[in-house]
Structure 1
Amino acid sequence: MNRERGASSLALVLLLLVLGSLMLQGLNQMQRRQVAMVNDETLALRNTAQAHSTLQWGKTVSWPDGVDVQCRAYSGGSRACLRLLDHGAILLMADSNGIQLWQSGARQINGIVFSPHGWSDFCPLQEKALCQMP
């Protein structure tokens, strides 16, 4: 009879080990998914910050007159482009790894004056083709 008690105790301990192992595997998978989500979010925030930086840098660049679309490379593989529109309006575009930002403005005698309303994360023009980076 002593053997039977020992076998049932051993079976209970093994069952607890199996259940604990399954729970730990599930928690590990959940943690890996969350770490991947945090990494994706970090990359998106980094690219957004780089796009903002590129847009601000594009405001300080001396863009020559007479060219319909002109682009300049910025650090980290990002670019800023200036597009001349009708009636002296301009559109400054910034791109950093797929994150795009726009800012409208106008060309005046003393240079380019950008909209006081700031940047936009969606195309401010009705014709979406004008918002595409060349």
Structure 2
Amino acid sequence: MNRHHQQGSSSLAFVLLLFSLGMLILNGLQQQLHGQRTAVAGEVRYLKEYAAATSAMAWGGQQSWQGKKHWQCQQQTTGWRACLRITEDGKGIMAAQGVYPKESAPVTLWRWGTLSSGRWAAAPHGWADFCPLPEVDACLLPD
């Protein structure tokens, strides 16, 4: 009878060991899944903001503008906004932003172009990944 009791205890210990290892593996997988879920959510948020900024750029290109050497902005009812500034050499730079959560920095798209009779004409290869103006203060859009 003692031998059967020892076999049962060994089997129980082995089952508990397997159970513990399984729990550790599942916990590790759960942590990986949480990290990946957070990364995917960030990517989705960025893609939505980028799409909104692209829409704001297209919308801004359809608006009437004045040829001012300081930022002038127009905002659409959904929250998109486009801003235009004419540089000293007569070129125009448009910045566009979509709606974004207040806790994060907005995705801002920049594009060179020209302004003629109040109409914006974007340069075909005028996209910039960052503010192309040389002065940092010149890149600050009004609130």
Q: Give the TM-score taking structure 2 as reference length.
A: 0.82
Q: Using the TM superposition, name which of 120-129 and 5-14 deviates more.
A: 120-129
- State whether structure 2 residue 45 is matched by structure 1 residue 47: no
Q: Using the TM superposition, name which of 100-109 and 9-18 deviates more.
A: 100-109
More helix by share: 1
The residue identity in structure 2 corresponding to 1:123 is C
Q: Whole-Å Cα distance in 2 between the matches of residues 5 and 45 of structure 1?
A: 59
* 1:104-132 C-alpha deviation (Å, 9 max, x unpaired): 12233584332121422212222232222
- In structure 1, stretches of 5+ residues that fail to align are none
The residue identity in structure 2 corresponding to 1:42 is V
**Partner in structure 2 of residue 99 of structure 1:** 107
Report which structure shows greater RCO (CA 8 Å, sep ≥6).
Answer: 2
Instruction: Look up the SS of the partner of 2:73 in the other structure.
Output: strand
* C-alpha deviation, 1:75, in angstroms: 5.2
**Partner in structure 1 of residue 103 of structure 2:** none
**Partner in structure 2 of residue 90 of structure 1:** 92
Q: Whole-Å Cα distance in 2 between the matches of residues 110 and 94 of structure 1?
A: 18
Question: Conserved in 2, the CA contact under 8 Å of 1:88 and 1:108?
Answer: no
Q: Give the TM-score taking structure 1 as reference length.
A: 0.87
- In structure 2, stretches of 5+ residues that fail to align are 101-105
- State whether structure 2 residue 38 is matched by structure 1 residue 30: no
* C-alpha deviation, 1:11, in angstroms: 0.7
4+ long deviations beyond 6 Å: none
**Partner in structure 2 of residue 108 of structure 1:** 116
Q: How many pairs were matched up?
A: 134
Percent sequence identity over aligned pairs:
39
* 1:51-98 C-alpha deviation (Å, 9 max, x unpaired): 111111111111134573211113543311111221322211112331
**Partner in structure 1 of residue 83 of structure 2:** 81
Q: Whole-Å Cα distance in 1 between the matches of residues 109 and 14 of structure 2?
A: 61
